[in-house]
Structure 1
Amino acid sequence: MTARYWTRLGLSLARVVAAGLVGSFVTALGVYIYLLDKRPDLSVWHVADLDEEFTADSGISDFGQYLALEERLFTQLDRLVYDQVPVGPENAINRYSRGSLSDPDRWPLNWNRSFELGHEQPTAGVLLLHGLSDSPYSLRTLGETLQQAGASVLGLRIPGHGTAPSGLVETRWQDMAAAVRLAARHVRDAVGDRPLYLVGYSNGGALAVEYALQTLEDPSLPKASGLVLLSPEIGVSSVAALAVWQGRLGHLLGLEKLAWNVLLPEYDPFKYGSFAVNAGDLAYRLTAHIQQQLGALQQRDRLADLPPILAFQSSVDATVTASALVANLFDRLPPADHELVLFDINRRAEVGSLLAEDPRTVFGPLLAKDTRSFDLTLVTNENPESNRAVALTTAIGERSPGAATYLDDWPADVY
């Protein structure tokens, strides 16, 4: 047998294997699409076209206009969603059934809307930015506490939120960022030259970082005196970049259900149960944009101009990981008045055996790193036999913490 024979045989086998792989992929894709399309039918809150929602192209120049548009949006929500959902026992916990146990209007204030907690003589202004699929409700208690401490507070309803899950099918991160700029200017006008702080949770944390970075490029934006980030969405899995193709494939095939990662009943008055594919995609695009901003500003030595950043993060958060927060944000910052507060597990609860990885693998290397450019505070047990929590702060350049700050006991239901 000649070399030519073996070459032809090898090519033939390669074609067979390639055809098999392609066939397997097409079959798997077909099954995946079939299963996605066999999910429950979409409801009116999944398909309502709420075109009164704010976008970066709305032509709105101040926050008063934003609130006026928000009022029209909720009027449209009543007409397109609430008016279409029957009232009765079968919808007793449906948030879109008027008078149900989950109807947001059962509360004195509908916390799905933007809210302001003003102060006659504010010591500071605070802009609250909620998370993805959440509403201003999620930060209301913090807002009320800050108002009592003397701050003038604005809780922004970020575009796509507080209405119906369909609101996140088309919203872009640029629309959200544009709303943050309007809101920041409004808070600055309300408090004058007093400090302005941005507090962001999850996706709101990413928007706060994006805003602070943008102020270094755009001097017309009011500068923040500090950022407070709660589990900020700084690192998102690269797999999220593929999510958009599911939605595009569904659009191509006319299968609307493919625009959704999760389809669940809507019983929470202030948070969506269903999750649009586009929401994951915009989160990925926003975090990628932030990395581009950081890289460009780092090359020009501008990151030293950022305001102090205080971040709170669980060491066992699987959605927003502490390691991603450090690698994608804190490690890129020059030494300054920044601090990361990490929450350990409750060591006395003995839940470590239930975890795939001990959180010490996350914060251990951070504590040992003497080139760290930020303060690191670990909230953990006083000792494994004690319920008492302590805060151990290791300053920049140090490898061991200073004196412990004693806190309350771990709550009985927190592990």
Structure 2
Amino acid sequence: MSDSLRKRPFWLRLLRRIGLILLILVAAIVGVRAWDAFTGPPLPPWLTMAPEEPGAAAIDSMDWPSWQAAEDRLLRTVSADLERKLLPGERIAQNRFWTESPLNPAQLARNWNRSFTLAPEGPARGSVVLLHGLTDSPYSLRHVAFFYQARGFHVVAPRMPGHGTVPGGLTNVSLDQWQAAARLAMREAKARSGGGPVHVVGYSNGAAVALRHTLAALEKPDLIRPDRVILISPMIGVSPAARLAGIAGWPALLPAFANAAWLDRMLEFNPFKYNSFPVHAAKLSERQTAALSRDLEAARRAGTLDQLPPILAFQSVVDATVIAGAVQERLLDRLPAGGHELILFDVNHQSLAAPLLTRAARAVAARFTLAAARPYRTVLITNNGTADGKVVARTWEAGTTDATDVPVAIPYPSHLFSLSHVALPFPPGDGLYGFAPDPADHQGAELGRLLVQGERGTIIVSQDILTRASSNPFFPLILDRLALELGDGAELAGETPSPALEPAP
């Protein structure tokens, strides 16, 4: 080492070495991505097409009929363009974009990729906006939609820009467009509420959109403020690795490495959800959670957090898509008391795979519950610590550290070792994702039943997809809790909600 380097302070030499290591790491990531992109097959048309959606300002100027008309034109244009561009080898039954595929949404009873509304039979007693997640479609909250409709609520479920067309639509969409779509839906819901309450239900990224809209409505009286906020698998925090997603896409700046713009490139066999995932969408996930954090901090400084409507959140304690604990640590723990509630779904401590669960998975629920008293109610659906292995709703009331157990009639199926991020809004009978699909609910494929075994490398999808839970045996508990939120409770014919899931006082 030269005398000049020895004379530099230790911290300066350390920073220099760290910088060199980071530079090597970035170069390695870019190199691997470039090689993978260069040697991979050409991108299919559903990844190279990037349909032009209305911008945020245009959406803000629309009413619901004009939004649906624009959506209809978009979907027809995309379908026609794809039909011309598909190669013979892409015109296969497993490809949802081939018009003759049994998985093509147009071949099914209803195309749930479209924005939709549902009207109650009689006068509306309120309305609800349903905001789906990233890569999803309005299909993901249709069971919640039917529930609200049956209880006299008008339902408004927008398709978020970039979704429901082709995965390439996610390469040029923005956070502002999603917020504008939420504002449009809230305006329509208010107009159809019959003077009753307006609820908003957000799933995954839709939960972040719902929260950001609600926080903005605290400051802007022209925005529709919801009376209740319901969050399902909310995207409050994502892995720090999402910040590196942009680096992974750098090689795509050169046409020869266009594949590098995609983190996942898969055949699109799901009629209502994208399998492929672009780098841009990963970047949006990180930007969304960062923007939500800034919005929460701004509301804290303004002293308006106590004006938030009651928040009811549902979260699996294990979640590979978002940081499961973020709903507590970055949201609920920071709010003043206000009737908020967190309902958690534990891993299955009695499953066939229980002996194979990691130590962290077996103990993860303790992170959420074994702590100081919190200003919101916490409910854990679990079979941990019960003598007979049956499921209980373990409840900590706001401001207490003592839990009470109430039996839950629904058992934890032995084949499930846990729930997942994607499972929560789907009942076991869902025709596409359910592990016991209802034959009357045909959706082109029964993906929830694909619990198959065989040799590696012989099927077109990752085996991770086939082992991930895609439906929720405890979905009736979610509906029970929503029924109590609406004040229906045990008055519903044949439906008796669990006392442990009553609304917080």
Question: TM-score when scaled to structure 1?
Answer: 0.90
Where does 1:58-69 land on structure 2 (aligned, <5 Å)?
58=58, 60-69=61-70
- The answer for the alignment partner of 1:99 in structure 2 is 100
Give how far 1:328 is off. Answer: 1.0
What is the letter of the counterpart of residue 201 of structure 2? V
Shift of 1:44: 0.7
CA displacement at 1:75 relative to structure 2: 1.4
**Is the Cα contact below 8 Å between 2:126 and 2:153 reproduced in 1?**
yes
- 1:60-99 to structure 2, matched below 5 A, reads 60-85=61-86, 91-99=92-100
Q: Once the 2 structures are TM-superposed, how far is the Cα of residue 338 of structure 1 from its aligned partner?
A: 0.4
Q: After superposition, give the CA deviation of every residue in 1:128-149 in whole Å (9 maximum; x if it has no partner).
A: 1111101111111221122112
- 1:176 matched residue in structure 2: 178
Q: Secondary structure at the match of 1:72?
A: helix
> CA distance change for structure 1 residues 212 and 407 in 2, over 3 Å: closer, same or farther?
farther
**Residues 354, 83 of structure 1: alpha-carbon distance in 2 compared, 3 angstrom cutoff:** same
Provide the secondary structure at the position in 2 that maps to 1:250. helix
SS of 1:81's equivalent? helix
Separation (CA, whole Å) in 2 of partners of 1:375 and 1:158: 31
- How many angstroms apart in 1 are the aligned matches of 2:383 and 2:320? 21
For residues 56 and 89 of structure 1, what CA distance do their matches in structure 2 show? 34
Matched letter for residue 280 of structure 2: N
Letter in 1 for 2:119: G
CA contact (8 A) 2:132 2:202 kept: yes
Q: Which region of structure 1 is more displaced relative to structure 2, 86-95 or 139-148? A: 86-95
Partner amino acid, structure 2, of 1:58: A
Tell me the secondary structure at the aligned position of residue 219 of structure 2.
coil
Counterpart in 1 of 2:451? none
Residues 25 and 171 of structure 1: is their aligned pair in 2 closer, same or farther, counting only changes over 3 Å? Answer: closer
- Tell me the SS of whatever aligns to 2:403: coil
**Structure 1 counterpart of 2:3:** 7
- Give, in angstroms, the shift of residue 86 of structure 1: 5.5
Distance 1:239 1:163, change over 3 A: same
- CA RMSD in angstroms comes to 2.6
Shift of 1:362: 3.7
Instruction: Tell me which amino acid in the other structure corresponds to 2:113.
Output: N
Q: Where do residues 276-355 of structure 1 align in structure 2 (5 Å cutoff)?
A: 276-349=278-351, 351-355=353-357
CA contact (8 A) 1:160 1:168 kept: yes
* 1:351 Cα deviation from its structure 2 partner: 3.7
What displacement does 1:154 show? 1.6
- Shift in Å, 1:367: 3.0
Instruction: Mark the CA change 1:121 to 1:25 in structure 2 (over 3 Å): closer, same or farther.
Output: closer
**Alpha-carbon deviation of 1:374?**
0.9
* 8 A contact 2:92–2:101 mirrored in 1: yes
Give the match for residue 436 of structure 2.
none
Q: Is the 8 A contact 1:116 1:153 kept in 2?
A: yes
Moved more, 56-65 or 324-333: 56-65
Name the aligned partner's letter for residue 169 of structure 2: G
Q: CA deviation at 1:181?
A: 0.4
How far apart, in 2, do the equivalents of 1:192 and 1:104 lie?
33
Q: Deviation at 1:10?
A: 6.0
| Residues 13-412 of structure 1 mapped to structure 2, 5 A cutoff | 26=27, 29-51=30-52, 53-58=53-58, 60-85=61-86, 91-119=92-120, 120-252=122-254, 255-349=257-351, 351-359=353-361, 361-381=363-383, 383-384=385-386, 386-412=388-414
> 1:55·1:159 contact (CA, 8 Å) conserved in 2?
no
Amino acid in structure 2 at the alignment position of 1:38: T
Equivalent-residue separation in structure 1 for 2:376 and 2:20 (angstroms): 53
The question of whether the paired residues in 2 share the 8 Å contact of 1:392 and 1:402 is answered with yes
Q: How many residues align?
A: 407
After superposition, the Cα gap between the structure-2 partners of 1:181 and 1:196, relative to the gap in structure 1 and judged at 3 Å, is same
Residues 377 and 393, structure 1, Cα contact 8 Å, conserved in 2: yes
1:127 is matched by which residue type in structure 2? V
**Could you say what secondary structure the match of 1:363 adopts?**
helix
C-alpha distance 84-320 of structure 1, shift in aligned 2 (>3 A):
same
1:68, distance to aligned residue in structure 2 (A): 1.2
SS in 2 for 1:111: coil
Structure with larger Rg: 1
CA spacing shift, 1:352–1:412, aligned 2, 3 Å: closer
Q: Is the 8 A contact 2:315 2:344 kept in 1?
A: yes
Closer, same or farther in 2 for the Cα pair 1:268/1:216, shift >3 Å?
A: same
* 1:88 Cα deviation after fit: 8.6
Q: Distance in 2 between matches of 1:389 and 1:351?
A: 17
Cα distance in 2, alignment partners of residues 378 and 349 from structure 1: 17
Q: Is the 8 A contact 2:349 2:383 kept in 1?
A: yes
> CA 1:398 to 1:77, structure 2 compared with 1: closer, same or farther past 3 Å?
same
Cα distance in 1 between the residues matched to 2:338 and 2:29: 51
Task: Give the residue type in structure 1 aligned to 2:404.
Answer: G
1 CA distance for matches of 2:24 and 2:361? 43
Per-residue Cα deviation, 1:257-313 (whole angstroms, up to 9, x for no partner)? 121111000111111111011111111111101100111111222101001111111
Instruction: Report the alpha carbon displacement of residue 350 of structure 1 after superposing the two structures with TM.
Output: 5.7
What displacement does 1:54 show?
Answer: 2.5
1:357 deviates by 3.8
Worse overlay, 122-131 or 375-384: 375-384
Does the 8 Å contact 1:130/1:202 carry over to 2?
A: yes
Map Cα deviations across residues 207-251 of structure 1 (whole Å, 9 max, x no partner): 111111111111111111111111100001222122123334412
Cα separation, 2, equivalents of 1:126 and 1:19: 50
Quick one: distance in 2 between partners of 1:200 and 1:28?
Answer: 34
Q: What secondary structure does 1:127 align onto?
A: strand
Looking at structure 2, the residues matched to 41 and 214 of structure 1 have their Cα atoms a distance apart, in angstroms, of 43
Of 317-326 and 262-271, deviating more is 317-326
Query: Does the CA contact (< 8 Å) of 1:367 and 1:400 recur in 2?
Result: no
> How far 1:359 sits from its partner (Å)?
4.5
Q: Deviations over 1:5-49 (max 9, x none)?
A: 9516869xx9xx999966786466324311233222101111113
* 403 and 67 in structure 1: CA distance in 2 versus 1, 3 angstrom threshold: same
* Percentage identity across paired residues of the two chains: 35
Residue segments in structure 2 that go unaligned for 5+ positions in a row: 8-12, 418-505
